[in-house]
Structure 1
Amino acid sequence: MKSICSSLRLEFKYMIKVLFVCHGNICRSTMAESLFTHIVTQRGLASKFEIASAGTSSEEIGNPVHHGTQSKLKEKGVAVVSHRAVQMKKSDIDYYDHIIAMDTANIINIERIVGFKSEKVAKLLSFAGSSDDVADPWYTGDFETTFKDIKMGLEGFLSTLKFLG
C-alpha cells in the first residue's frame, strides 16, 4: 500500500506542460493561454501546469496581445497573461506534453516546423468532440465566438486529464 501511495504522490508532482499555437500568437493562442491559466487557477490546479503559447509564423514576433483579445478577456473577467508573440521552435515538440493548435493550418505548420507528425499535437476543438477550427478573429472580428470555442475546447481538454478524476 505504501508504494502505491508514493507513486501516486509522484504522479501529482509532475507538471503538465501545454503550448497553445495559432498563426501569429496575438489572438487565439494568447486567449487560450490566458483563459486556461484562469481556469486552472480557479480550480486550484495552477501548480500542476506550465502554460505558454506561440505562433507558427514570424509575422508578429514581439507584438503584444491583440487589443480585441485583451478586451474580450477583460470583459469576461479573465486576466491577460503578460505576453509578447513568439514563434514555435522545433525543440518545443520535445519540451511540451501537449501542443494544442487552433486550426488545421496550424497543425500543418507545426508538422513543418518539427519535421514530423506527433501524437502530442491536437486541434483544440477535438477535445470538445468537434473537427471544427477555432476561427481567427483577426479576420472575422468575432472575438466572442472565438472565446466560446476556446472555452469549450479547454473544458474538454481538462476533462481528458486523468489526475483530475
Structure 2
Amino acid sequence: MINVLFVCLGNICRSPMGEAVLRHKVQERGLSTQIQADSAGTGDWHIGNPPHKGTLKQLKLHGISEQGLKARQIEARDFEAFDYIVCMDDSNERNMRKLAGGADADILKFMDLLPKEQLREVPDPYFTGNFEETYRLMDAGCEALLDKIIEEKL
C-alpha cells in the first residue's frame, strides 16, 4: 500500500482538499487497494474539526466525498507511516524536513508537481478566500502526483 500525506498549516483548507481529491482520483482509476491518502496540519488550532466551509463547498461542487475528513496535527509516526509527504508551502516543507530526522518518507512541495504554474506555493484560502483556485491546483496537482506514484511505485 502506498500512503500519501498532505500537509498544510491548520488542516482545514488545502491539505484536506488534497486528500479528498486524491482519494477521488484513486477511486476513479480503480487503485483504492493500492493507494491511500490522509492529511495533517503543522498547527493544533483545528484538531478534530471538519474542513472549512469553502473546502466543503468545492468538494461538493465537484462531486467529491468529504467523508472521514477531520483535522489533525502531524505526528512523529507519520514520517514512517507515509511514503509521500506533500507540503502546501515552503514553511510546511521546512517544518516537515526538520521534524523528519532520518525518516524514509519522500517529502515534496505540492507546486513542484506543477512546474508550468507561476505559483510556487499553494495560496492558503483561509486567508485569500479563493477556494476555487485551490481546487484548480489540487485537481491538476493530484493528477500529476498520481502519475508520479504509478511511475515510481506501482
Give TM-score scaled by structure 1 length: 0.84
Contact kept in structure 2, 1:89 and 1:113, CA below 8 Å: no
Counterpart position of 1:56 = 42
Contact kept in structure 1, 2:79 and 2:105, CA below 8 Å: no
Counterpart position of 1:158 = 146
Cα distance in 2 between the residues matched to 1:159 and 1:33: 16
Cα distance in 1 between the residues matched to 2:102 and 2:16: 25
Counterpart position of 1:80 = 66
Q: Is 2:133 the partner of 1:134? A: no
Computed over aligned residues only, the root mean square deviation of the Cα atoms, in angstroms, reads 2.0
Contact kept in structure 2, 1:127 and 1:153, CA below 8 Å: yes
Cα distance in 1 between the residues matched to 2:103 and 2:138: 23
Contact kept in structure 2, 1:101 and 1:107, CA below 8 Å: yes
How many pairs are equivalent? Answer: 151
Tell me which amino acid in the other structure corresponds to 1:82. Answer: G
Greater relative CO (CA pairs within 8 A, separation 6+): 2
Q: Is 2:128 the partner of 1:145? A: no
Gaps of 5+ in 1: 1-14
Gaps of 5+ in 2: none
Deviation at 1:71, TM superposition (A): 0.5
Cα distance in 2 between the residues matched to 1:134 and 1:81: 23
- 1:102-121 matches, within 5 Å, as 102-115=88-101, 120-121=106-107
Tell me which amino acid in the other structure corresponds to 1:16. Answer: I
Contact kept in structure 2, 1:26 and 1:64, CA below 8 Å: yes
User: Bigger shift: 80-89 or 139-148?
Assistant: 80-89
Deviation at 1:114, TM superposition (A): 2.7
Deviation at 1:113, TM superposition (A): 2.8
State which structure, 1 or 2, has the greater radius of gyration over its C-alpha atoms: 1
Tell me which amino acid in the other structure corresponds to 1:162. Answer: E
Deviation at 1:47, TM superposition (A): 1.1
Partner of 2:91: helix, strand, or coil? Answer: helix
Q: Is 2:2 the partner of 1:16? A: yes
Give TM-score scaled by structure 2 length: 0.90
Cα distance in 1 between the residues matched to 2:39 and 2:90: 17
Contact kept in structure 2, 1:89 and 1:114, CA below 8 Å: no
Deviation at 1:159, TM superposition (A): 1.6
Counterpart position of 1:3 = none
Cα distance in 2 between the residues matched to 1:96 and 1:125: 19
Counterpart position of 1:8 = none
Give % identity.
37
